């Protein structure tokens, strides 16, 4: 499991060569980006840990504070009602980005989505 900076996000995900190992990334609010606005991270940290253990050989797993970079902030700062905001669960595979529903923040649902992101 990796903490992604803007540079790592660009190098490892945005500019990943064709056929690279896919990435499962949570974009969220953390104390690294805005200590005054810290979202509870327990739920998605547990999921990241489980996903990393289950899929570590076939999938890269990362966490990024989307407020740390203008590029990711503009992309992922979506104003919505409570429960529809960050953390955003994303999979990047073969040049495509897959957004997982916020209701999928459980290990079994994430696992099913990782197996079939277009399903």
What are the tens digits of pLDDT across the range 97-111? Answer: 888 766 656 777 777
Task: Give the model's pLDDT for residue 78.
Answer: 56
With cut-offs at 50, 70 and 90, classify the pLDDT of residue 21.
very high
Give CA–CA dist 113/43, Å, rounded: 17
Task: Tell which wins on pLDDT, 100 or 17.
Answer: 17
- 3-state class (DSSP) for residue 57: coil
In this prediction the pTM is 0.75
Structure tokens at 72: 């990711």
Hey, which CATH number is domain 2-115, 3.40.30.10, 3.40.630.10, 3.40.1210.10, 3.40.50.12280?
A: 3.40.30.10
Listed in sequence order, the DSSP H helices in 1-119 are 6-8, 42-55, 70-76, 107-115
Task: Give the model's pLDDT for residue 86.
Answer: 52
Count of helices and strands (H, E) across the chain:
4, 5
Residue labelled with tokens 């290990």: 107
- 3-state class (DSSP) for residue 65: strand
Task: Show me where the domains of the chain are located.
Answer: 2-115
Render pLDDT for 44-99 as a digit per residue (tens, 0 to 9): 777 788 888 888 888 999 888 766 666 665 565 555 544 445 557 788 888 888 88
């Amino acid at each position: 499991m990796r903490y992604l900076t803007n540079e790592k996000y660009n190098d490892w995900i945005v500019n990943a060569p064709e056929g690279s190992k896919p990435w499962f990334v949570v974009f969220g609010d953390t104390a690294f980006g805005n200590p005054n606005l810290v979202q509870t991270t327990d739920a998605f940290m547990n999921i990241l840990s489980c996903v990393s253990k289950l899929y570590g050989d076939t999938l890269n797993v990362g966490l990024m504070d989307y407020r740390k970079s203008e590029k990711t902030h503009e992309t992922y700062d979506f104003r919505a009602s409570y429960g529809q905001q960050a953390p955003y669960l994303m999979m990047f595979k073969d040049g495509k980005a897959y957004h997982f529903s916020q209701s999928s923040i459980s290990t079994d649902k994430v696992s099913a989505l990782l197996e079939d992101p277009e399903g």
